């Protein structure tokens, strides 16, 4: 058993796995015993019992045919019940494995630090969690088929050894030679499994990119291009699946041809050795039963190695995400600055970039003032905001409150005192109320209404269903400005010590921009606000203007 298969088996509780193995063993033993019972039954139908094994002669002499038939029927019934129990338990364990890996990967992703997550493609993660883990579950099911099949095959060959050691050894040796011939096919299945993983990721990436940009696709008349991209990626996936089916079919042809040749040789040898029909017929049944078993084992082995790359990918991602796991916050108590929030000579390097995103930057945000970061794209404004918000731990320097640096663990707790409003507001498919409560589940009706009115989002109360209006997927039932104002209200519902507005008005029309600006101006002097902007009216609400370029602060302008 490989390290990969052991890793997968460890994904399920040991008692459940042992129970399944016990059921598999019972099923295998009943099959072997049932076929052996054919020997005394057949001998009772013949006057010649001289050539049957000595253990069967007393049964043939002292047990009636009806009793043996009843015993045989009972064994078959018990085996049927055991097989039912095995199939149900196998399915349960398969679902346990899928749930285990899906939740483990998801949990590791959401607990990883922002710097690691922001450098990766979310569609790859979605592909692994949905399709990759399903492949993993399918591989696990085939691993269980392998274990069950080998147990049954072992019981069959033990029964064959009991009937005729010579013929059984010939069959075992021939079977092993046939299985050895499948080595190259298994390696081919593994390569096809790796290719299939790449094709799944391509399909997921095209799907995610297109659906996220569906408005852009339609507004630019790029439907045909999007359709062609999806067809190409789907065709690649389909080609990989067909290639695997072809490889599996070739292996089945090889197996059946080899098994037929082996069975013919065994019958010929039995004829030469003068083995009684009462023994030969059960042996033929045993060997004939072995052929479909070998077939299912071979197919299961190929399916397993085909799915194994998904486990490798899952393990690799888990290792990376767990290495990037953030420390648990020491305290759930919110931090409320009384004087300032500051950065002290901070430097941040992003993976794969030659130059620092921000370098040796120091900046104080006085409590209850509004600071606006200005500068071109790539100046480091968003990185600076992420530092103030506790999302990023600086490579050098410190983030602090009221003159005291915050240790890394405290930075995570600090996030509970920060609220973000991004350029692209994130709303969930649900009602306005549900979107508000997502940020603060225990908020009262009064607090929700107050936050909406403070954010210039009173329009909500004039909607057909008011606060119970469903906003649609990503809030598409609302305009961009309406979504942004609800997002601002949701941020305010947390009563944050620091409110960060990241290009919050850059994509809005004049009227909606004015509504956001009005809300920000109304909060001046009552809340610490950090605004990221290229230009626009929000800059006019600033107490402090900070100009950035190339990861450094160029000037700081205090406004009266």
Q: Which residue has the higher pLDDT, 324 or 163?
A: 324
The DSSP line for 468-522 is G-B--GGGTTS-HHHHHHHHHHHHHHT--SEEEEESTTTTS-HHHHHHHHHHHHH
Distance CA(452)–CA(378), nearest Å, equals: 33
Residues 319 and 351 occupy one common structural domain? no
Residues 296 and 346 occupy one common structural domain? no
Using the predicted structure, report yes or no on whether residue 119 has a pLDDT greater than 70: yes
Domain boundary among 296, 323, 350: 323
Task: Cite the DSSP H helix spans in 112-132.
Answer: 114-118, 122-127
pLDDT of residue 275: 67
What is the arithmetic mean of pLDDT over 347-371? Answer: 86
How many residues in total does the chain contain?
A: 560
pLDDT of residue 439: 84
pLDDT of residue 143: 84
In a domain, 330, yes or no: no
User: For residue range 67-85, what is the model confidence (pLDDT) as tens digits?
Assistant: 767 777 787 788 888 888 8
Using the predicted structure, report yes or no on whether residue 288 has a pLDDT greater than 70: no
Residues 349 and 456 occupy one common structural domain? yes
Residues 484, 504 contacting (CB under 8 angstroms): yes
In a domain, 286, yes or no: yes
Using the predicted structure, report yes or no on whether residue 159 has a pLDDT greater than 80: no
CATH at 52: 1.20.1560.10
pLDDT of residue 179: 62
3-class secondary-structure state, position 551: coil
Task: Cite the DSSP H helix spans in 324-340.
Answer: none
Distance CA(300)–CA(365), nearest Å, equals: 63
Give pTM, 2 decimals: 0.69
3-class secondary-structure state, position 534: coil
Q: What is the per-residue burial (b if ≥16 Cβ within 10 Å, else e) of 350-364?
A: eeeeeebbbbebebb
Distance CA(22)–CA(437), nearest Å, equals: 49
The helix (H) or strand (E) run that includes residue 83 is: helix 65-111
Total number of domains constituting the chain: 2
Domain boundary among 276, 296, 323: 323
Residues 314 and 383 occupy one common structural domain? no
Residues 338, 367 contacting (CB under 8 angstroms): yes
Residues 183 and 264 occupy one common structural domain? yes
Q: Which residue has the higher pLDDT, 344 or 1?
A: 344
Using the predicted structure, report yes or no on whether residue 103 has a pLDDT greater than 70: yes
Distance CA(52)–CA(72), nearest Å, equals: 19
Winning range, highest mean pLDDT, from 111-115, 265-269, 360-364, 511-515: 360-364
Domain boundary among 297, 323, 349: 323
Residues 307 and 384 occupy one common structural domain? no
pLDDT of residue 167: 66
Residues 297 and 366 occupy one common structural domain? no
Return the CA Rg of the chain. 35
In a domain, 12, yes or no: yes
Distance CA(373)–CA(553), nearest Å, equals: 9
Residue 204's pLDDT band (boundaries 50, 70, 90)? Answer: confident
- E strands along 238-395, which residues? 340-348, 358-366, 370-374
The DSSP line for 22-58 is HHHHHHHHHHHHHHHTHHHHHHHTSS--TTS-GGGHH
Residues 205 and 260 occupy one common structural domain? yes
Residues 7 and 87 occupy one common structural domain? yes
pLDDT of residue 347: 92
What is the percent of the chain where pLDDT is above 90? 2
What is the arithmetic mean of pLDDT over 293-300? Answer: 72
- DSSP classification of residue 422: -
Winning range, highest mean pLDDT, from 233-237, 244-248, 457-461: 457-461
In a domain, 329, yes or no: no
Q: Which residue has the higher pLDDT, 56 or 18?
A: 18
Using the predicted structure, report yes or no on whether residue 304 has a pLDDT greater than 80: no
In a domain, 112, yes or no: yes
Residues 275 and 386 occupy one common structural domain? no
User: For residue range 368-388, what is the model confidence (pLDDT) as tens digits?
Assistant: 988 888 888 888 888 898 899
Residue 221's pLDDT band (boundaries 50, 70, 90)? Answer: low
In a domain, 328, yes or no: no
Q: What's the domain range around 354?
A: 340-558
Secondary structure in 3-state letters for 339-374: CEEEEEEEEECCCCCCCCCEEEEEEEEECCCEEEEE
Residues 514, 485 contacting (CB under 8 angstroms): no
pLDDT of residue 345: 92
What is the arithmetic mean of pLDDT over 108-116? Answer: 84
Q: Give the mean pLDDT of the chain.
A: 78
HSE toward the beta carbon, residue 257, CA cutoff 13 A: 7
In a domain, 261, yes or no: yes
Whose tokens are 């699946």? That residue is 241
Residues 306 and 358 occupy one common structural domain? no
In a domain, 378, yes or no: yes
503 phi/psi in degrees, rounded to 5: 50, 40
Residues 12 and 154 occupy one common structural domain? yes
What is the percent of the chain where pLDDT is above 70? 73
């Amino acid at each position: 058993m490989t390290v990969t298969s052991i890793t997968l088996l460890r994904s399920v509780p040991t008692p459940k796995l042992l129970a399944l193995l016990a059921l598999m063993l019972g099923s295998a033993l009943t099959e072997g015993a049932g076929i052996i019972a054919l020997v005394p039954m057949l001998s009772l139908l013949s006057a010649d019992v001289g050539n049957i094994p000595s253990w069967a002669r007393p049964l043939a002499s002292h047990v009636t045919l009806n009793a043996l038939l009843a015993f045989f029927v009972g064994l078959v019934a018990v085996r049927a019940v055991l097989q039912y129990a095995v199939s149900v338990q196998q399915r349960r364990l398969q679902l346990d494995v899928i749930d285990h890996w899906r939740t483990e990967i998801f949990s590791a992703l959401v607990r990883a630090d922002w710097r690691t997550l922001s450098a990766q493609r979310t569609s790859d993660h979605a592909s692994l969690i949905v399709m990759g883990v399903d492949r993993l579950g399918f591989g696990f099911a085939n691993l269980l088929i392998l274990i069950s099949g080998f147990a049954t095959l072992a019981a069959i060959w033990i029964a064959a050894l009991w009937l005729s050691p010579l013929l059984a050894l010939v069959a075992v040796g021939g079977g092993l030679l046939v299985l050895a011939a499948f080595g190259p096919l298994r390696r081919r299945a593994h390569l096809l499994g790796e290719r299939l993983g790449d094709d799944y990721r391509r399909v997921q990436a095209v799907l995610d990119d297109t659906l996220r940009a569906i408005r852009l696709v339609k507004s630019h008349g790029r439907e045909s291009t999007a359709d062609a991209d999806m067809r190409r990626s789907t065709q690649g996936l389909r080609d990989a699946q067909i290639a695997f089916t072809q490889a599996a079919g070739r292996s089945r042809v090889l197996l059946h041809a080899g098994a037929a040749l082996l069975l013919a040789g065994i019958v010929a040898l039995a004829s030469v050795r003068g083995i009684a029909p009462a023994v030969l017929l059960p042996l033929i049944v045993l060997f004939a039963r072995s052929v479909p078993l070998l077939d299912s084992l071979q197919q299961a082995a190929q399916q397993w190695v085909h799915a194994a790359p998904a486990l490798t990918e899952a393990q690799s991602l888990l290792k990376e995400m767990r290495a990037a796991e953030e420390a648990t916050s020491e305290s759930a108590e919110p931090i409320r600055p009384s004087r300032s929030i500051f950065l002290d000579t901070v430097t941040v390097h992003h993976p794969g970039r030659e130059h620092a995103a921000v370098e040796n930057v120091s900046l104080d945000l006085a409590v209850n003032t509004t600071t606006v970061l200005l500068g071109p794209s790539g100046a480091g404004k968003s990185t600076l905001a992420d530092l103030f918000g506790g999302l990023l731990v600086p490579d050098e320097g410190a983030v602090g409150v009221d003159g005291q640096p915050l240790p890394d663990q405290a930075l995570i707790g600090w996030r509970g005192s920060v609220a973000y409003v991004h350029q692209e507001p994130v709303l969930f498919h649900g009602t306005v109320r549900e979107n508000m409560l997502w940020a603060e589940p225990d908020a009262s009706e009064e607090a929700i209404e107050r936050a909406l009115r403070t954010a210039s989002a009173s329009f909500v109360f004039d909607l057909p269903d008011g606060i119970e209006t469903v906003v649609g997927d990503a809030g598409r039932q609302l305009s961009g400005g309406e979504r942004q104002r609800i997002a601002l209200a949701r941020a305010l519902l947390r009563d944050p010590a620091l409110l960060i507005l990241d290009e919050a008005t850059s994509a809005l029309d004049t009227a909606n921009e004015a509504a956001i600006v009005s809300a920000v101006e109304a909060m001046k002097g009552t809340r610490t606000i950090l605004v990221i902007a290229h230009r626009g009216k929000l800059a006019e609400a600033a107490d402090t203007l900070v100009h950035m370029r190339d990861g450094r602060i160029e000037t700081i302008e205090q406004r009266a």
